[in-house]
């Protein structure tokens, strides 16, 4: 509990710092993603003119359609692999995660297979909605993970 709390506060702190220093120019949810092209150009124009700003390079390295916030992804990964939280590795192979189970399919190429992020989220929120016999834990419905935690897990899973 304490650990989780500490983790959360570190996370909040990190997000705040990043937000304040302006090194993350990426939108954090779908709605903003759809309006991102104009905002991006807007952001880049002033940045380019201010010579002592650094983020111009980071912006160029990111894929045009979407760029996952590394901090959110890292937080999502921590939740996904943590034994007391998502514990997804109990049933799924994910990257090089230690001792994965194989009750569920390996989580691979998720972006290609789930172009609709909401569908991916629904699977994690309550797998039994789509498949009543699913052995997968209904993380959202049974309040094992909070909505916010699930959002972060989705961000991470989508990078796989």
Partner 1 sequence: MKKILISLAVLALTATSVQAGPEEDRMAFINYYKGKFPSVPDNEYANGVYAIDPVGRENWEAIEEFPPYEPFIDAGQEMWEKPFANGKGYKDCFPKGPAIAHLYPHWDKEQKMVMTLPLALNHCREANGEKPLKYKKGSINNILSYIAFQSRGNRVDVKVPQDDPGAVAAYEDGKKFYFTRRGQLNFSCANCHLQNTGLKVRTEILSPTVGHVTHWPVYRSKWGTVGTLHRRFTGCNKNIRAKPMKAQGEQYRNLEYFLSYMSNGQELNGPGARK
CA atoms of 76 and 22, how far apart (whole Å)? 21
Q: Which residues bind ligand HEC (CB under 6 A)?
A: 80, 86-88, 90-92, 103-105, 107, 120, 123-124, 127, 131, 134-137, 139, 153, 157
Long-range contacts of 17-21 (CB under 8 A, 24+ apart): 18/71
Site string for partner 1, 81-100 (x = CB under 8 A): --------xxx-------xx
Pick one of ligand HEC, partner 1, none as the site partner of residue 46 (Cβ within 5 to 8 A by kind): none
Rounded to the nearest angstrom, the gap between the alpha carbon of residue 14 and the centroid of all alpha carbons in its chain is: 15
From 73, 85, 128, 160, residue interacting with partner 1 (rule: CB under 8 A): 128
In angstroms, what is the minimal distance from the CB of 110 to partner 1? 21
* Rounded CA separation 75/114 (Å): 21
63: region left, alpha or beta (phi > 0 left; psi from -120 to 50 alpha):
beta
User: What's the CA gap between 26 and 40, in Å, rounded?
Assistant: 8
**Residue 43 vs 87, nearer CB to partner 1:** 87
Q: Is 140 left (phi over 0), alpha (psi -120 to 50) or beta?
A: alpha
Binding mask 136-155 for partner 1 (x = CB under 8 A): -xx---xxx-----------
Q: Which is nearer to ligand HEC, 25 or 92 (CB)?
A: 92
135 contacts partner 1 (rule: CB under 8 A): yes
């Amino acid at each position: 509990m304490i650990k989780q709390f500490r983790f959360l506060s570190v996370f909040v702190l990190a997000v705040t710092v990043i937000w304040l220093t302006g090194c993350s120019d990426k939108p954090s949810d779908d709605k903003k993603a759809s309006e991102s092209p104009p905002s991006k150009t807007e952001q880049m124009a002033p940045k380019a003119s201010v010579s002592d700003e650094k983020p111009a390079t980071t912006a160029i390295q990111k894929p045009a359609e979407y760029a996952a916030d590394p901090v959110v992804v890292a937080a999502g990964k921590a939740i996904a692999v943590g034994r007391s939280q998502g514990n997804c590795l109990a049933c799924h192979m994910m990257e090089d995660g230690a001792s994965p189970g194989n009750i569920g399919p390996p989580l691979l190429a998720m972006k290609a297979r789930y172009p609709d992020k909401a569908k991916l989220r629904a699977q994690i929120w309550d797998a039994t909605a789509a498949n009543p016999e699913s052995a997968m834990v209904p993380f959202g419905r049974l309040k094992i993970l909070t909505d916010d935690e699930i959002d972060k897990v989705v961000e991470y899973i989508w990078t796989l």
